[in-house]
């Protein structure tokens, strides 16, 4: 009986996170309430508070779960091997997959509301982007060493440019309701970085 209750509680918590994630990705964090989640799941707001005492706790749990899944995807890209441009293309595909589901990057949506978020959520959002910058910078350095990626400045600067470009491209594509607009930007971005050019000494 105890195990059954524990399993049911786990399923309820997961369902709350699933619904809340979709609402954040489509409406924004300030665009939904506990009442919205409770109505969709057919549970009471008290049940939500049992699992997540406040919206801040719910929001932080959403970021942690999303970041963990994103990190798992990056590990998967590394595990597949291949060239640096191919890995960069796979990275851009992570964003495109979200957009084709008519959603936005969770942390991209939260970044737009950054000033209104509780401090723990702000820190988690920044940590998500920092982790992405670190992974990309490592990939960019490897690509530069192999001669398959070319960019000016440091790898970390290029990594920030990539994340900014992809997040921005998602927003614009969403405005037009046209995921293909994102594809154009992502493809051009990878092609430009992979374009062959004379090798010059640059900062790492």
- pLDDT at 7 exceeding the cut of 80: no
Q: How far apart are CA 147 and CA 34, in angstroms?
A: 51
Cα→Cα distances 175→102, 106, 113, 150, 178, Å: 11, 16, 17, 31, 8
- pLDDT at 121 exceeding the cut of 50: yes
Q: Which domain holds residue 107?
A: 55-194
* Closest among 141, 126, 140, 137 to 67, alpha carbons compared: 126
Give the pLDDT confidence score for residue 8 in this predicted structure. Answer: 59
Domain membership flag for residue 108: yes
Burial state string for 131-160 with b = 16 or more CB within 10 A and e = fewer than 16: ebbebbbebbbebbeeebbbbeeebbebbb
Domain membership flag for residue 10: no
Q: How far apart are CA 107 and CA 61, in angstroms?
A: 12
Domain membership flag for residue 71: yes
Start-to-end CA span in the chain (Å):
58
CATH number of the domain where residue 155 is located: 1.10.357.10
Q: Computed from CA positions of residues 124, 104, 162, 139, in that sequence, does the dihedral angle turn out positive or negative?
A: positive
- pLDDT at 139 exceeding the cut of 70: yes
Give the pLDDT confidence score for residue 196 in this predicted structure. Answer: 66
Domain count, the chain: 1
Domain membership flag for residue 25: no
Domain membership flag for residue 22: no
Cβ count within 10 A of residue 41: 16
* Average pLDDT of the chain, as a whole number: 92
- pLDDT at 171 exceeding the cut of 50: yes
Domain membership flag for residue 44: no
Q: How far apart are CA 29 and CA 101, in angstroms?
A: 18
Domain membership flag for residue 101: yes
Domain membership flag for residue 204: no
Reported as a single tens digit per residue, the pLDDT across 28-40 is 999 999 999 999 9
Reported as a single tens digit per residue, the pLDDT across 82-92 is 999 999 999 99
**Confidence label for 5 from pLDDT (cuts 50, 70 and 90):** low
């Amino acid at each position: 009986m105890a195990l059954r209750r524990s399993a049911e509680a786990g399923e309820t918590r997961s369902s709350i996170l699933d619904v809340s994630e979709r609402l954040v990705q489509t409406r924004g964090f300030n665009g939904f309430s506990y009442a919205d989640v409770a109505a969709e799941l057919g549970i009471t707001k008290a049940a939500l508070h049992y699992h997540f005492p406040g919206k801040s706790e719910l929001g932080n749990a959403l970021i942690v779960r999303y970041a963990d899944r994103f990190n798992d995807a990056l590990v998967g890209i590394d595990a597949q091997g291949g060239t640096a441009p191919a890995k960069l293309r796979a990275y851009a595909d992570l964003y495109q997959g979200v957009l084709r589901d008519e959603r936005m990057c969770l942390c991209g949506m939260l970044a737009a509301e950054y000033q209104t978020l509780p401090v723990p959520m702000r820190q988690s959002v920044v940590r998500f982007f920092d982790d992405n910058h670190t992974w990309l910078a490592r990939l960019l350095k490897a690509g530069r060493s192999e001669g398959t990626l070319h960019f000016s400045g440091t790898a970390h600067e290029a990594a920030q440019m990539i994340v900014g470009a992809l997040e921005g491209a998602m927003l614009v594509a969403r405005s037009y309701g046209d995921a293909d607009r994102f594809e154009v930007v992502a493809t051009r971005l990878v092609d430009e970085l992979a374009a062959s050019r004379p090798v010059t000494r640059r900062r790492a």
